[in-house]
Amino acid sequence: MIIHFIISGETLESIAEEIHLDNPEYLKEYHNRYCAKEDYIYDQLIPRKKLLIPEMDKIQEYNSRNDAPFKKVVLNPELTFAPEHKERKYRVTITETHEKEKGDSKSSDIAYSVTLQWVKKDLDTHTFHLSKEDFYTENESKMFGLAIECIQSLHPFQITTDSKGEILNISLLPGVIKNFGKAKERLTDLFPDPYAARYIEDFEYVLSNQKLFDERMKQDTFLRIYFSGLRNGFKNGKSYFRQSISDENVPVIIQQTIEDEDYTDEVDLLLNLSKSETQDPVEYDGTYTVTIEDGMIKTAWIKYSISRFGVKYTTRIAVDELF
């Protein structure tokens, strides 16, 4: 056996995970069998006290019993992605808040509807058409109106995903670029000032460069949340996927668990931050409700924040299916 001195904050679960013991109850059972009476563990671990840890052969014996709670089938669902012939419409609300250490803060909201229509399947890829409409914000400006008119001139644009629903590429339909000349004339008439003209020129440049268009669109908040790796395989009650957050595209790894074992047609997934690839403080949590039949999202609620130079930037995203 190995003698371990308990550190503040450690739990049976955290130590069991560190030594690759599936069921933490066996860690308590092993310790209580061999420890002195005064070191007996009942519920919580006590810092600075001794904990007796089994050797690897004993850990393997325990694991062979395959009875850890997180190994239940309901906690390790196989989320398939079968969107064939489906069309979904969602209402999306995004709130961004900038909060300074002094307590000053400002926020902005934007809401819009998304129509997502499955088009075809080729081998292990799916193709969708996506449109955004019904935009709303309390702080509407002329440039906001221009941005909305520009993006709506592209509808629908095309999204190709892999078999799990993660984006491979985003592209324009063949006629969009060809017809943008007419759209550009209309936009110039609606927004005649020089700042708008520069925005329209930059927008047209992005459209003419497929690689750049794909890169820009993959930074869209809704697309990053909706077409995430949430259907990655579960193991030991957990699933992980990589995602980018904030305008700086900070890479994070998200952990998923099942919120309630008693699901049938829909499953609720709890999301928490597992790892961040930045030194800046990052927070992340949320939920997905996914339909078991086709693996498509019914609702999503995500909140993440990153703190930099004394300012905390927080984004809240709510996605609700419309009926």
Give this prediction's pTM.
Answer: 0.82
**Whether 195 contacts 143, CB under 8 Å:** yes
Please spell the DSSP secondary structure of 136-197, one letter per residue.
Answer: E-TT--HHHHHHHHHHHTTPSEEEEE-TTS-EEEEE--HHHHHHHHHHHHHHHHH--SHHHH
Residues 6+ apart with CB under 8 A from 18: none
Lowest model confidence (mean pLDDT) among 119-133, 142-156, 220-234, 296-310: 142-156
pLDDT in tens, 257-314: 999 999 999 999 999 999 998 989 999 999 999 999 999 999 999 999 999 888 999 9
Alpha helices in 171-322 (DSSP H): 174-190, 194-208, 210-217, 221-226
pLDDT in tens, 67-118: 888 888 899 999 999 999 999 999 999 999 999 877 788 889 999 999 999 9
**Whether 176 contacts 154, CB under 8 Å:** yes
How far, in whole angstroms, is CA 2 from its chain's centroid?
39
